[in-house]
Each structure stands twice: as C-alpha cells, then as structure tokens.
Amino acid sequence: MSETMSFGEPDPDLNPDQILGWLDDSTLHSPLILDDLYCTMDDPWFGLDPIDAKTISSSSSSSPIVDLFITDQPQQAASELSKKQKAPEDHTPRVGKNSSGNKKGAGKSAKGDNNIGSNKNGRWAEQLLNPCAAAITTGNMTRVQHLLFVLNELASPSGDANYRLAAHGMQALLHHLHCYQYPHRPDGRLEKAPSFTTSTPKLFKQSLIYFNDINPWFTIPNNIANNAVLQVLSEQDHGSCNALHILDIGVSHGFQWPTLLEALSRRPGGPPPLVRITVVPPTLDNHQLPFASCPPGYDFASNILRFAKDVDINLQFNKLDNIPLRNLNADAISFSEDETLIVCAQFRLHGISHNEPDDRTEFLKLMRNMSPQGVILSDNNMDCSCDNCSSFDSGFARRLDYLWSFLDSTSVAFKGRDMEERRVVEGEAAKALISMCEMNERKEKWGERMNGVGFVKHAFADDVVDQARALLRKYDSRWEMRVEDRSVGLWWKGQPVSFCSLRKTD
Amino acid sequence: MAMAVDELPEIDFSDFTTTAASTTNSTTTPEDDHCHNWDGWFPVVDWDALPIHPEEKFGDLFDSEMDEETDKTVSYSDDDQNLASSDAMMMEPPVSALSDDCKELRLVHLLMAAAEAMASGNKNHDLAGVILVRLKDLVSSNEGTNMERLTAHFTDALLNLLEGVRGSAGGGGLHYKQTNHLHHHHRDDVLAAFQLLQDMSPYVKFGHFTANQAIIEVVTHERRVHIIDYDIMEGIQWASLMQALISRKDGPPTPHLRITALSRPGSGRKSISTVQETGRRLTAFAASIGQPFSFHQCKLDSDETFKPSSLKLVRGEAIIINCMLHLPHFNHRSPTSVASFLTGSKSLNPKLVTLVEEEGPEVEGGFVGRFMDILHHYSAVYDSLEAGFPMQGRARALVERVFLGPRIVGSVGQVYREEGGGCGSWGDWLKSDPGFQPMKISFANHCQAKLLLGLFNDGYRAEEPASNKLVLGWKSRRLLSASIWAYSESD
C-alpha cells in the first residue's frame, strides 16, 4: 500500500516560532473578569494541550503527493500573523500562566488542516454537495448515490474546512433523504452529533469562551451591542436615574453581559440604580436554531449575580423559560414604566417564521408595543433558504455558503488544530443545514420590516464603531467591518456574514 | 472450437465477493472499511435505504471478473484457495449490497468523479486533486486486485493531466514525479514484457496473423512484393510472413520481398530496437530460410510527413501498406502522422492496405464517458491476462507496468486533449475515402484467428462485424480490430 496520507500535516504557512509567540499573547482582548467567572481550572487553556512545536516542524517530511499541491504562498499569511502580534496596546496578557502552559505535555495528535489537495482558496466540498442537492431535487437517484459515494470517501470531521463541510453537508443530505423516506421516523443519528445541547456544561463553556476568543463571529456583534446600550443611555434626556432593563434575545448565553456591567459600574455618574436582564431562551421545540440552546444544567444566573455584586451593580436577573417569542409583552417581562428598556435581539429573530402567517412582523409589532428606548438587532446577512423562498438545492447552497464561512474562519482561528471545542461549535453551526427555522433575510429586508412597524434606524456613535474596529484587529485580517447605511456589517473574505443595527421608536 | 458466450447473465452484485485473486494479499486497512466511525457521530450510510442498487451503473466492469471465478474453478481445481473462494461464491447467501468488499465500487465512483472534476474546467481542479490524493492512498500499482492496480494507473493518468493543466496555468513550483518512470523502462524489462505479453495473450499475434494472411492471399501470383511498414518495431510480423511465404506448398516460387520501414528521429528510445537493427535481423533471418529479401528505411522528418516520392519503387512490384497501431509499446502517434501516411500511400497505388488498431471508444461525447470507456477497456485487458495466468502475478505486473500503464496514461491524455472533437477510428477514416474499398476477410483467415484464440483462454473471441474486419474481443468487450482494404484510383 502506498504510504498513508495522514491528516496531520500542519499548516505550512506557520512556523513554530510564530505559533509559540501567538500562544504568549493568548488573551487577545478578553478581560480578566472572564477568568474569574468561568475558570474552574488553573490551567489557562482549560486543559487544552498546547501545540507541540516539535510535532509541527518534524512533520514537514511530506510524501511526494504533498509536494504536488503545496502552493507558493507561505510568506504572506506569515507576515500578517506577525503584524497582528505587534499591536501591543490592545491585549492584556495573562500574567504568568502561559509559560507553564506552553511547556506542558505533548500536543494532541495534530489532526489539523490538511492542505494537501486543496490550495488555500479552494472550495471543493460544495462542488459535490450542491450537485447532490440538485440531483435530489430532480430525483436523479443514480447521481445522488454516486455523489454520496464520493462524499463518503472524502468527508472527514477532522480535516480542514472543506473536509468538515463535506462531512456536515453529507449528513444533512442523508437526513433530508431519511426524512423523505421515513417522514414519521426521527433521524437517530442527529442526536449523536456534537452540539451545545449534547455537551457537558463545562465543555460548552470552554467552547464558547475559546471560540469567542479567536473568532469574532459573535464577539463583534456583542461588543457593538454592549456599547450601543451605553450609547442609548447616554443619549437619554432625563438623567441616569432610570432602571435599565435589557431584554436579551440572543445567543451569548450570558457571556456578553459582564463586560457591560463592568462598563456601567465605571460610568461617570455611577451605574443605574437597578439593572435588569431578562433572558428569553428558545422554547424546546425550537432547539434547532444554531447557537440558541445550551446544555441542560447550564445556568449562568448565579455567576452573573455574583459578578454584579463584585462590581457593585444592583442586578436583577430573570430567565423566561418556555415562553415563546410571540407571547412576549410588557407583562411577560414585568416591564414598568420608569424603566429604560433596551431590546437586544441577536441571531435569534431569523428563527421566527416569515411565511404565512407572518409571525415575524407580528413579533416586531409586539416589540414596538413595548416602546423600548432602543432595539439592537444583529443577524445573519444572507438570503433565506426556507421552502418558500427557494428550492431545496438553491436553499441548500445558501446554507452551505453560510457554513463554509463559519468553518473556514473557524479553521483559521483554530490554526488548523482539531479539538473538541472546535467540533462543538462547528456542530452547532452545522445545524443550519438541517434546521427548519433558518429563515434569514438580508439587512435591507429587516430594515423594511422594522420601518414598517414604527422603528427608525439610528446611527451608532463613532466611538462604538471605533471600538469595534479596534477589537476586530485582534482577529485574522481577512475579517472586515463595513459601515453602510448606519449599520455595521461583518465580512469574512469579502463575503457578508452578519449585520448589526440600532433602532429607536419613531 | 469453443466460442465464448457473448451475453453474460445478469449478475447480482450481492453474490460477488472479491477473493485473493491478486498478486499479493491486499491488506485491509482501516480505511478500506467503509464503516467509518468518526467519533461516533458520523453515521454509516444506509445504502440499502437508497432506492437504487449500488452497482447498477458499473455492472459491466465486474462481469468479467465474476466469470473468471468460474474459469478458475475449472482450470485450477487443485488449488484449494480458489476452490474455497468459488464455493463461497456459489453458496453464500446474498450479502447486503455493500459488504466490506465494496472497495472496487468505491474506486470506480472516485475515478469517475475525478474525471468529471477534470472535465468541467478550472474551478473543479481542487476537487480533482482531493479525490486523486484519496485514490493514491487507497491503491498501489503493484499490489491488490486488478481493479486496484488499474485504478492506480488511471489515478496517475489523471494526476498527469492535472499537473499539465496546473503547470500551464503557472501555479508556481509544482512538479510531479511520475512514479512509473513512464519513458524510462530498462530495455531488458521492455523485451521481457513484450515476450511475456505474446505468451500470455493473442493480442500481438492476432493483428499480425490477420494482416499476414491477407497479404499472402493477395500476392499469390506476384513476383515482387514491397511492403511499406508504418511502424516496424521489432519486425516480428515479417518473420512469420517470410516463413509463411517460404512454406507455401504448391504454387508459384517465392516472391522477392522488399520491406521499407518508416523511421523517425529519436524513436529508438522507446522501442526495443532501432529500425536498422530490425532490418539487420530480418535480413539475416531471410537469408537463413532462403527468402529473397531486401530492407530499406524511409526517414521521416520530425513533423512525420510521409513523402511517397522518397521511396524507391520497382516496376511490377505489388505494394502493400501495413499500418499496425496496436502494439503495446507503440507511441501514440499523432493523428496527423497516421493521416499523412495513409493519404500518401494512395499515390503508391497499393494492392492492399492492412490496418490494425485498438477498438475505439464505444461512446460518443465528453471526456467522462470516454474516460470510463477506457477504464472498461483496460479492465477487460487486465482480466484477460489474469484469466489465462492467474498465478503469474509478477509477470502480469511487469506487462502492466511497462506497457499497459503508460498506454493508459497516453490514452487518457489523448482523449482529454481531444475533448469535444471526436476521434473516430482509422477504419472509419479509410471507409470515408472512396479510393479505399473494403476487402473481404477470407474464411481461411477467420479460421486461423479462431485457431489462434484457441491456444488461449476461452474468454477470447473473434468476430467479423464487417466483411473486411476481424475483431478480437474479451468477453463482451472489443479489444482490437484488424481490417483490410484495396485501393483503386477514383476518377
């Protein structure tokens, strides 16, 4: 047998020195408070094994096949990396803990990115998945089976983004076929895929923390949202005597708020006398919405209450379990007149149906009826892939496009290393391929809806945008922020990923 | 003379088990096991749930392998291993459509997908690369079953194409080391392989004998015969012709035989001997059997344009045009070269034109279809060799490595370059020219062919699809066609 191809080939663009250097500047932006809140172990890496530099440099002995496909672009990415590290003002290094972490143990078996056969910009998985979806739509079962055969050979949950996309995509297609054949039988294998709900609370926390540390997918929208809350408060006519009530319809699972609480406590004039956070988790039947659910047993209430006490904030925390969004109103959230209500809706509203009946517009009206002082809306900036808006294959293509951005940026963020945390977030994102609740809309369409029920767009303050930009510099340079028409868009490799906007009532 | 059955019974893939009918034991690595178990979540595909039978498309590829099991039971009954496996084949209840031995099916799917990815233009080259890397991982050209070794060569062929495309697109720094050293076989290897091929298969002799018989029949009363040979190679065709001429019992005295061989600059590299050496050998042989003989060369330029005027002709000689395009170590000559030869030969007013070529693709159309057809073709060739000599794995491997592998690479390359344009056979080319008329294959010629095939495995057959054409086939697949033509000037 010819020599086995291992997926362990490291990213040839990075040399060991730079990797260790990155490990030194580990914290990037996250404040030490997160350590206090969520660290249960002394190891700063939560038990993650650091990269063994030896593993990387020694596996450069590659097979001739490797030679065939390694292209000549090593230098560019490497220089980008070193550029990033030379921006010292933006990160707070974790004191002391890192050096011990680096020397610990051998690296995990580096089932990292497999650059063989895919040059850096290649997207080959979709070239099998999309034709397969098209064949399903036309009923060409011979072709479906042929493509599934090939996918089965290539897909792997531990290769680079293409291999993972192939794996998740194939599972989604099989699921679709299963549902078609056995409409009343649930697909048992879906239960076993890694996701938030199937993880332990500890793994869930680790995954989310680590992911936000290295991929700005949620970090930037959260950062903008937090600063927008501060902006709304500062723009209020009547002083700062009102209680602040934040309605959290989001996916941050509590990680977003400590930063805000801390900023509130440092406000000139002190924090609001009362801060209320009401979290609306998804109802049980909506568990397919990516990133929305958490493991049973996960509860950040006590943590955040403790943190609030530490920073002298009078916090009232409330979680509205099992209240569907359509039942939200002032009563449900115990709204009182003298509160400053700010709704923070992030990556959840696209799960509300926009077909007959138009629950989505109805919900926006509900929100309007609560007369909030501000609504921060973030969501995926893409076209809908539901049955009404597209055929199976064009919808699937859109979902793949979304997942590709996620997997690709995540692959870059993890520097090709495979680990459980990575698989958990990727498994969560992959739900988008299967979920019935994925009904995205472009930001322009959201804008129309919002305007239609009586909201007006309000520009973000300059320093809100500036801070977000500064934060984004910590991440890979292929992330971009574009401010268009008063909303902030997040782009990856020239493709739109999400948008964030602020609105007030007219 | 037993004629092999043309139509095979429908074979249910579920009865098919691959046995160790290979040169060495193919080891089953974890990768072969299609029940991937990636951390528990990635499911085993329930192929049975899908509405079609998995091998439906590729049944042909496995038909001949299936039959070969039966042959082995008959011929090698003392071999326990074969008996056991054939018993297993016959008595085992049908297994589910994809047992662990479905590797060959997976290989075929992968090959087809790789060909498809190559055919659709630049944007799929990444996919092609990924598939080919996977294939390289799964097969080796030296070990495993026929299908596995074949796949290795086809993978190399596609990699060759990919490298060519990427190289020309300026993807810097790529180079592909052809592991087969396609052009640099040791001369002894080539000689050995050639002789082995002749022993193991009627492939070479079929063309020669058919052509020679036609020549003999047409020169019965000639006193001088002049044969112009497109590619004389080692000249073994003429040794047997001379013997046949000498041993004609009754009839006229042996004619004087003149052979003019076309020679090309730099062609000695691949053939076993140069044209001069061949000439010397033939001259010596003729002398030893008393055949009046003379040998000439016609040197072509590098563009291979045939100039008939450069030939030395003698009054009253019967001119024979001989065009053997099937020899295994035959370089793919450019179509222009062959066309130039056949066109030029018209001005010589030949008495007979003999043409032997590989049976062309049985499908029209794009690269993928023709690629799969080439795969079917060589699958049949491999099977034909194995059927006759299942135990001589190393011999077959040598022939595969020296001849068949490079031919595969060449054929695939040729089809890729011609994509969109078709290349019909040279027989069709001759047919479309009014000056060339088909000449009937004699009964004696047909019988001789059958006698020849009788020396080899039952699976071979000789067909006469047209009056002037004999085709060598293996099972349901046509391999070679030999056709004969007369020429008369029109108008």
The rounded percent of chain A whose pLDDT value lies above 90 is 59
- Residue A260, both tokens: 């805000």
Q: Do A149 and B109 touch (CB under 8 A)?
A: yes
Cα–Cα distance list, A120 to A124, A162, A411, A433, B79 (Å):
11, 10, 12, 24, 53
Per-residue pLDDT band at B101 (split at 50, 70, 90)? low
Q: Two tokens at A65?
A: 């096949």
What mean pLDDT, rounded, does chain B reach?
76
Predicted local distance difference test score (pLDDT) of residue B59: 53
Record: contact A193-B124, CB cut-off 8 A: no
Instruction: Enumerate helices (H) and strands (E) in chain A, giving the number of each.
Output: 18, 9
**Over the range A12-34, which residues count as b (16 or more CB within 10 Å of their CB) and which as e?**
bbbbbebbeebbebbbbbbeeeb
Give the list of residues 6+ apart from residue A269 with CB closer than 8 angstroms, or none: A239, A240
Nearest by Cα to B245 from B236, B233, B257, B235: B257
Of the two residues A391 and A237, the one the predictor is more confident about is: A391
pLDDT for residue B69:
38
Are the Cβ atoms of A154 and B140 closer than 8 angstroms?
no
Task: State whether residue A407 sits within 8 Å of chain B by CB.
Answer: no
Is there a contact between B109 and A157 if contact means CB atoms under 8 Å apart? no
- When pLDDT is averaged across residues B460-464 and rounded to a whole number, the result is 94
What is d(CA A230, CA A249) in angstroms, rounded to the nearest whole number?
A: 18
Smallest Cα–Cα separation from B107: which of B139, B81, B63? Answer: B139
Is residue A107 pLDDT above 90, yes or no?
no
Residue B244 to residue B131: CA distance in whole angstroms: 53
User: For residue range A433-460, what is the model confidence (pLDDT) as tens digits?
Assistant: 998 888 999 999 999 999 999 999 999 9
**Of chain A residues 420-459, which have a CB less than 8 A from chain B?**
423, 427
Residue of B nearest to A167 (CA): B42
Query: What per-residue confidence (pLDDT) applies to A51?
Result: 36
Locate the chain B residue with the closest alpha carbon to A148.
B45
B483 by DSSP, 3-state: which? Answer: strand
Q: How far is CA A56 from CA A10, A59, A107, A504, B309, in A?
A: 6, 6, 10, 52, 68
Give per-residue pLDDT as tens, A80-93. Answer: 434 444 433 333 33
What residues pair up with A340 in beta bridges, in sequence order?
Answer: A244
Residue type, B21: A
Q: Among all chains, which residue has been given the structure tokens 């990680």?
A: A255
Say if CB B155 and CB A53 are below 8 A apart: no
Count CA within 13 A, CB hemisphere, residue A137: 15
Give A-chain residues touching B124 at CB under 8 angstroms: 124, 127
**In angstroms, what separates the C-alpha of B302 from chain A's closest C-alpha?**
32
Confidence of residue B296 (pLDDT cuts 50, 70, 90): very high
Question: What are the C-alpha distances in Å from A96 to residues A24, A27, A37, A44, A59?
Answer: 10, 12, 19, 10, 30
pLDDT average, residue stretch B430-451 = 93
B362 — pLDDT class (breaks 50, 70, 90): low
User: Long-range contacts made by residues A311-314, C-beta under 8 angstroms, separation at least 24?
Assistant: A311/A261, A311/A262, A311/A265, A312/A265, A312/A271, A313/A261, A313/A264, A313/A265, A313/A271, A313/A275, A314/A271, A314/A273, A314/A274, A314/A275
Tally of CB atoms within 10 A around A280: 23
> Which residue in the set B41, B46, B127 is minimally distant from A192, CB to CB?
B41
Strand partners of residue B463: B471
Model pTM score: 0.74
**Is pLDDT at B475 greater than 60 in this prediction?**
yes
Residue A192: list chain B partners with CB under 8 A: 40-41
Of A64, A117, A174, the CB nearest to B45: A174
DSSP reduced 3-state for B190? helix
Question: How far apart are the CA of A137 and the nearest CA of chain B, in angstroms?
Answer: 15
Give pLDDT, residue B8. 26
Least confident of A2-6, A184-188, A475-479: A2-6
Taking CB atoms and an 8 Å limit, are A1 and B110 in contact across chains? no
Tell me the residues of chain A between 217 and 256 that have a Cβ less than 8 Å away from chain B: none
Radius of gyration of chain A from its Cα atoms, rounded to whole angstroms: 23
Alpha-carbon distance of B222 to A264, in angstroms, equals: 113
Q: Which of B244, A430, A470 is nearest to A481 (CA)?
A: A470
Q: What is the C-alpha to C-alpha distance for residues B451 and B474, in angstroms, rounded to an integer?
A: 15
With beta carbons under 8 A apart, name residues in chain A contacting B163.
68
- Name the closest residue on chain A to residue B48, using Cα atoms: A145
Please give the pLDDT value at position B391.
Answer: 83
pLDDT at B50: 55
**Among A142-151, A410-419, B389-398, the least confident range:** B389-398
Lowest mean pLDDT among A98-102, A401-405, B457-461: A98-102
Tokens of A42: 């002394």
List helix spans (H) across A2-125. 16-24, 32-38, 53-58, 64-69, 74-85, 97-103
